[in-house]
Amino acid sequence: MKINLHSHTTRCGHASGTEKEFVEEALRIGMTDFGFSDHTPMTFPETYKSGIRMKLEEMQDYTDTVLGLRKEYEGKINIYLGLEVEYYPALFDSYIKFMSDYPLEYMILGQHSLNNEYDGVWPGEPTEDVSRLKRYVEQVIEGLSTGKFIYLAHPDLMNYVGDEATYLKEMEKLCGYAYDHKIPLEINLLGIGEGRFYPNPVFWKLAGEVGNDVVMALDAHHVRMIDVPDAEEKAMKMVKDFGLHLIETPLPKMK
Ligand SMILES: [Zn+2]
Ligand SMILES: [Zn+2]
């Protein structure tokens, strides 16, 4: 793997290691392009505190740190400034406006909650509730339709455990939309490395049938999540088994 655009920093509260350590490790294993896409700050109402993301006031330091590393490692490895962002309809305009003050180069969509988080649930919680599945698909499509995202992280984060036909029917809408608009779907190596419920083979078989563009990413929260040959090998096996159309991760335009 030469390109990874999905990595976090300690600002999100569930990662470790310095940004420099991440870059050194990426360099050591021969990566050419490395993007930081920490969990975005959000313009939530004062009364709500999110436990999984940086604060609004940390965005400047995040920006300075990543762009500082870019300078430091120029000519050795390309560093990009990104964010992993949810699509929360009630807040979207307001956090996009907030972000416009920073020289962000890309956003990936990672839908870690339904609705607007303060009024929603984590899609990873196992559920047989079809309405949650439908809401996830609807919301992801709505998010992608804003045109702001270079790809969709862990599209299979929705952990619907009801009948497979229903799952496929809904996910086909998501895959179909991504296919029509040439938006890649991400095989998440963190999920593989930690033996999580995603990547979900049922989803990826479908993505193979639909013909989606597929990218791989680390979702690195710790330095040890960067050099992961076993996870990569398992991902490559999925690519082969499901006939997935693996492409090189599209590079953001450096500002
Ligand atoms: Zn995270
Ligand atoms: Zn992530």
pTM over 0.95: yes
**What is the pLDDT confidence band of residue 82, given thresholds at 50, 70 and 90?**
very high
Q: Are 200 and 2 in contact (CB under 8 A)?
A: no
Mean pLDDT of 200-217: 98
- Give CATH superfamily name and number for 3-246: Metal-dependent hydrolases (3.20.20.140)
Ligand nearest the Cα of residue 84 is 2
Mean pLDDT of the chain: 97
- Measure 250 CA to ligand 2 centroid, in angstroms: 17
* H or E segment to which residue 187 belongs: strand 185-188
What pLDDT, on a 0 to 100 scale, did the predictor assign at position 253? 84
Mean pLDDT of 146-168: 98
Mean pLDDT of 39-53: 95
- Measure 118 CA to ligand 2 centroid, in angstroms: 19
- Measure 239 CA to ligand 2 centroid, in angstroms: 21
- Measure 74 CA to ligand 2 centroid, in angstroms: 25
**What is the pLDDT confidence band of residue 140, given thresholds at 50, 70 and 90?**
very high
- Measure 221 CA to ligand 1 centroid, in angstroms: 7
- Measure 110 CA to ligand 1 centroid, in angstroms: 10
Q: How many angstroms separate the first and last alpha carbons of the chain?
A: 24
Instruction: Encode pLDDT of 100-132 as tens digits.
Output: 999 999 999 999 999 999 999 999 999 999 999
